[in-house]
Structure 1
Amino acid sequence: MEYLKSERKQIFYSILLGLAGGLVGVALFGLSGYMISLSFFEPPFFIIILIIAVIKLFGMMKGAFRYIERLLSHEATFQMIGRLRLNYFTKSLAMDEDTHSVKFIQKLNQHFDRVEDYYIRIIYPYVTAALLTLILLLLAFYINTEVVLIMAAASLLLLFAIPKLFEGLSYKEAEKREETDDAFYMKLYHYIHDYTDLFVRRQTETHKKGLYGYLAGIKRHEDKKALYESLMGFAANLIQIAMIILVIFVMYQETPMLVPMVMLLGLSYFDQVVPVIQPASNYRTVKDAVRELDTAEVEREDEAETDKNIEKIIIEDLAYKYPGSNTNVLKNIEVAFTAGEKHAIIGSSGSGKTTLLNRIIEGDDAVNFYGNSEKAGHDTLINDASVMPQHLDFYNATIEANITMFGHLKTSAECMKNHLAEMEMSYYTPDTMITHTGRLSGGEQKRLHFIRMMIEDKQWWVMDEPTARLDEKLREKIWNHVLDRETAIVSTHDLSRLDAFDRISYMEQGEIIESGSYDDLMNEKGAVYHAVLRYADNL
């Protein structure tokens, strides 16, 4: 309830109206049962008419209460969701989280699917059912003490024992499902983005079988969840039947005429309590989602402006897992990048090359920047490095606006035309309008971003697959420019110019397993040596 602190007014009135509606619904069935019992004594006709009129009136009241209660409970839920969305996005920005990633959006949708249930299907119905139970227990004292005990036992089983028992099982199953989803996402991501590499290495079918295995695992989790729900429903039905039998057994000798009324009261009560059981069993999972979304905003530390130039980037014991995932995609990363050196990061698809570059770009805590022999902040990388990430940003604007980032970079139209001609894009002029979707191919995006980096002309170049989706002639031009730079960190599958790099790091399953100069690594005949041979065989 602490997450609904801003919606107290709607909560109070919706619970009050829900309780009133529940009592009216129970009374409606109770009167129906009482009318059945009364008919045995052949009462006057106007009594029956009066009871029928009251039943109709109660039906109208129940509908009115339910309508207003729904308005209030949904208003409280939408206000809570709106606040949580704002908090979560603010927190994500403060953490420099990639809000465009499929993983981020998937996680967001998953959390908010659960959060929608937090008040409407868990808090409000459960509180209403508990209050209704207490009132009916007090009223049951006027009928029979044994009935009170039977009803109290049934209520404890339905509202506490069953939800608590299945809560632990559901929570563990939800954790396992999340792990499977994370693994499936990573496998699918690499299948889509590294399809060409997998096709060349004839690993598409193996990768596809792995995906089907994860899908089968997800199906097993869904089946187990459905099994738990069925078991809860079965247990609830058994308790209902047992309670009705016990009530009849207790009452049929002393007050047989009240049995129909009590039975219908019980059935109406169960109609309102049983639907609460399954959502209540998910309370722990849903609360975790709400807690994560409602976490206070993470404040950024203001980094002072600095004139230092990066001399070295040292990564010490870097481990990384995606937010919400339990699987490390980077493990025990220890590597140094020095100004004046060109460093290549190679490895098979899914080995963690792109993730490592992203941790450097985003300034992970394990990534240390040094300038002028002193430790520097992440802002020195922003000032000193041009970056080519895996996913490139272009906008519905002119070529000039896209290359210069809307005037942020300064260059002449003539210089831009020369770069376009060099990259075999003379069919574009600086004034050509482009749209990111549909107009630019993957290779064109690479070349335009490369022109942007050349105009930016910073000391460090950090690049993810700079020659991907380019023909041999263009690849050679790109490599010539990259290797002319003083300092570069390049992640690549293209090993044609690997011998020109000062240092090489080979990654496998999130770890750097080899690192050194080209000659040393080739002499060792390890992972780099075999990767170069495989590359030569595939040419």
Structure 2
Amino acid sequence: MKELAVLSKAMMQERKDILLSILCGFIAGTAGVALFSASGYLISQTVFAPPLYTLIVLTSMVKLLGFVRAASRYGERLASHRATFSILSRLRTSFFAKLIPVTPGILNKNRSGDLLARIVGDVESLQHYFLRVAYPPIMVVMVFLSTVLFTAVFSFWIACLLIVGMLITAFVVPNLVLIGQRKINEHVRQQRAKLSTEVTEVLYGFRDLKVYGQLAERERQLQQDSAELATQQQRAATQLVLGQSMHVFVTYLVTWGVLVISAFLIADGVFAGVYLAMLILATQTMFEESAAMAVLPAYKLDSENAAKRLAETVPDQQNKGYDDQSHSSSKTHLSLEVDAEGEAVTIELSHVSFQYEGEWRSALNDVSLYLAPGSKTAIVGASGSGKSTILDLLLKLRTPAAGKIKFNAISVNEWNETNIWQNTRAVLQQSHFFRGTIRDNLLLSGESHSDEYVQDILHQVQLFNTSLDDSVYEKGENLSDGEKQRLALARAMLRKGRLWLLDEPTSSLDYVTEARVLQNLLTQAVEDTLLLVCHRLTGLERMDQIVVMDQGQIVETGSFEELMERKGYFYEMKKIELQMIGEQGA
């Protein structure tokens, strides 16, 4: 499958451990066959009371083979598991590297529970590919062939029987299991994803479900989904047991065949009966190496389905543009930090268009905008006019369908996206808060600030009664929307960077608090480039330019005074806002 290309590449990068594990596995397998063959021969020889030195040699050989088998098996486990964990690490890194740039689009298309199942479960499933899918056939072929060559010395017909048994256990049994497992495995994966999705929904919406009296119904649905998953898993397990049972049946069938053929050969005087126990034990030991082939189809299907689901999460056509950009930016490593002359960041959008997947209309249509270094720009407009999309494009969270975006006269494709994020003070509409303390959530980037300075920043965002040691629940459940916004602003104010990208940072604050917070914010960013997306029109008098958007296009641009004098779109918006404020005051 082409989806397994990344996995194959990761395996090639760990080829030293893989080759070492194959070598140790071959030694362990052949040593095991030799060990039990020698043991069988030793048992048979004792019946004839051989000389003492013969027993000493045979006993020593058995002990030596035991040590070799144990040591090589340990080396095989060590190398194969080290390779597996390294491969898994590379897979996680590769998947997350592709996932981060397209996360906004993925979250819009996938339910969070299903996405979590893919990120955790599907990536974990791929760890079995080498140990359970790629490795067993190699060992079966190598150990079987060496054993067949060994038995051929004694009997051509026994060697032919072992070859037939190898073909049955290596191909026939796995394919029989595969026929029944393919459909069952897909049902198990779909049901597991469905259960994960429903559990996540219940956890996120627990309070609303309880308030509206739907919690019991959702619990019943969860129990039903859980029971269905258990049923599907039981069917899958039954299919695996069936495969293992068929393998055991073939093993004993071939063993009986070896016994029967050997009996005829001994009766005809072709070879001595002292070799009978040796051949029987060699046959049974050889088939132990092929036991993993019985469950190989399950792991193969699991790995293929996992790889397919991960490929669907970050399809090539969705992140192709990003990959090209990443390749370019990995070479340049341009920085957004202050240059030698102390200039802030310049931003230029030229005929930029963007359309969300599945949408019938464009979010942005031929947008051109210029932000001079150190300028203060506000973007206003109705919901859905494309304001937030511009910020996503500037942060390289999305890729424009057409047009060019430049930082400091250099295309955004040349900039390292990690550097953009690290050197931009961004506040998005939804800011995440982690379980911990206020201090932990403010200093996410590992900045080194004294408690006094951090407390001063909290005062600037009008959080006077907040302590740095105050607890924060998961997702900030114990914080109001206004507190979340002010903490997000404080987090941005504590970072470095000469570019501010703020998306509705004060929409949940009252007018008085908002005015004070914006005043302190503009004071700190007086020499920086600032882009503010907002619905409210108060406090925009200090902006160098105001961009008015409607239906993905810029309809007006100018300073506050210029737009008010034109009495156009912005003027009407401002008049409506003043009327609303007056009604609220009355």
Residue 51 of structure 1 corresponds to 58
CA deviation string 1:266-322 (max 9, x = no partner): 11112222134314542243256468599999526489975569999875734xxxx
How far apart are the structure 2 equivalents of 1:11 and 1:194? 47
Give the superposed CA RMSD.
5.2
Q: 1:39 to 1:448 in 2, by over 3 A?
A: same
**Which residue, 180, 192, 195 being the options, matches 1:184?**
195
Q: For 1:485, what is the secondary structure of its paired residue? A: coil
Q: Does 1:8 align with 2:15?
A: yes
Match of 2:26 among 14, 19, 26: 19
Shift of 1:343: 4.5
1:68-123 deviations in Å (ceiling 9; x for gaps): 33333233223323333332332223434789x77655434324433333333443
Counterpart CA distance in 1 for 2:28 and 2:149 is 18
Deviation at 1:223, TM superposition (A): 0.5
Q: Which moved more, 1:208-217 or 1:7-16?
A: 7-16
2:536 matched to which residue of 1? 485
Tell me which residue corresponds to 1:38.
Answer: 45
CA distance in 2, matches of 1:42, 1:15: 40
The runs of 5 or more residues in structure 2 that have no matched partner are 1-7, 268-272, 330-344, 366-378, 385-391, 406-411, 416-420, 449-453, 493-499, 515-532, 539-549, 552-586
Map of 2:465 onto structure 1: 427
Counterpart amino acid of residue 189 in structure 1: T
2:482 pairs, out of 436, 442, 447, with 447
User: For 1:177-233, what per-residue CA distance to the aligned partner results, in whole angstroms no more than 9, with x for missing partners?
Assistant: 222222222222222222222223221111111111111121112211210111011
Question: 3-state SS of the aligned residue for 2:264?
Answer: coil
CA distance in 2, matches of 1:43, 1:418: 96
Distance 1:182 1:390, change over 3 A: farther
Amino acid at match of 1:81: L
Aligned amino acid, residue 323 of structure 2: E
Which residue of structure 2 lines up, in the alignment, with residue 175 of structure 1? 186
Q: Are the structure 2 counterparts of residues 194 and 364 from structure 1 closer, same or farther at C-alpha, using a change threshold of 3 Å?
A: farther
Alignment correspondent of 1:388: 429
Counterparts of 1:124-163 in structure 2, within 5 Å, are 124-163=135-174
Query: Quick one: distance in 1 between partners of 2:238 and 2:115?
Result: 30
Query: What TM-score, normalized to structure 2?
Result: 0.60
State the one-letter code of the partner of 2:465. Answer: Y
The reply to whether residue 259 of structure 1 matches residue 276 of structure 2 is yes
Give the secondary-structure state (helix, strand or coil) at the position aligned to 2:358. Answer: strand
Report how many aligned residue pairs link the two structures.
438
Say which SS state the counterpart of residue 252 (structure 1) adopts: helix
CA contact (8 A) 1:28 1:59 kept: yes
Aligned to 1:506: none
How many Å separate the matches in 2 of 1:252 and 1:396?
Answer: 79
| Moved beyond 6 Å, runs of 4+ | 293-297, 302-305, 309-314, 333-340, 361-371, 382-386, 412-416, 452-460
2:428–2:504 contact (8 Å) kept in structure 1: yes
Instruction: Name 1:208's counterpart in structure 2.
Output: 219
Q: Is the counterpart of residue 272 in structure 1 residue 323 in structure 2?
A: no
CA distance in 2, matches of 1:415, 1:132: 69
User: Distance in 2 between the 1:91 and 1:164 partners?
Assistant: 35
CA distance in 2, matches of 1:453, 1:72: 47
Contact 2:126–2:303 (CA under 8 A) maintained in structure 1: yes
Equivalences for 1:391-402 in 2 at 5 Å? 391-392=432-433, 396=437
Q: Percent identity?
A: 18
* Paired residues of 2:28 and 2:73 also in contact (CA < 8 A): yes
Q: Give the corresponding residue for 1:533.
A: none
For 2:68 and 2:440, how far apart are their aligned partners in 1? 66
In structure 2, do the counterparts of structure 1 residues 10 and 197 end up closer, same or farther at CA, with 3 Å as the change threshold?
Answer: closer
- Give a deviation string over 1:329-356, Cα, whole Å, max 9, x none: xxxx769799876559xxxxxxxxxxxx
Change (3 A) 1:3 1:280: farther
Q: Counterpart of 1:153 in 2: which secondary structure?
A: helix
CA distance in 2, matches of 1:187, 1:255: 67
Read off the aligned partner of 1:69 and give its amino acid letter: E
For residues 55 and 451 of structure 1, do their structure 2 counterparts lie closer, same or farther at Cα, with a shift above 3 Å needed?
closer
Partner of 1:529: none
Q: Tell me, what secondary structure is at the counterpart of 1:254?
A: helix
* Secondary structure in 1 matching 2:265: coil
Larger displacement relative to structure 2 (436-445 or 104-113): 436-445
1:183 and 1:390, CA in 2 relative to 1: closer, same or farther beyond 3 A?
farther
Distance 1:315 1:8 in 2: 42
Mapped to 2, the partners of 1:272 and 1:177 lie a distance apart of 28
In 1, distance between residues paired with 2:472 and 2:54?
75
- What's the secondary structure of 1:253's corresponding residue? helix
CA deviations on 1:447-474 (whole Å, 9 max, x unpaired) are 22334689999896499xx88xxxxx99
Instruction: Label 1:244 to 1:214 Cα distance change in 2 as closer, same or farther (>3 A).
Output: same
Verify the 8 A CA contact 2:437 2:469 in the aligned structure 1: yes
Q: 1:246 to 1:119 in 2, by over 3 A?
A: same
Deviates more, 1:231-240 or 1:452-461: 452-461
Q: CA deviation at 1:125?
A: 3.5
Change (3 A) 1:191 1:112: closer
What residue identity is the alignment partner of 1:38? Answer: Q
Partners of 2:435 and 2:43 in 1: CA distance? 75
Per-residue deviation, 1:171: 4.1
Written as runs of structure 1 = structure 2, the 5 A alignment for 1:286-325 is 286=303, 289=306, 299=323, 301=325, 306-307=347-348, 317-318=358-359
Within 2, Cα distance between the matches of 1:138 and 1:81? Answer: 37
CA distance in 2: counterparts of 1:74 and 1:454, whole angstroms: 46
Tell me the distance in 1 between the aligned counterparts of 2:212 and 2:139.
61
Indicate the SS of the match to 1:143: coil
Structure 1 contact 87–295 (Cα < 8 Å) conserved: no
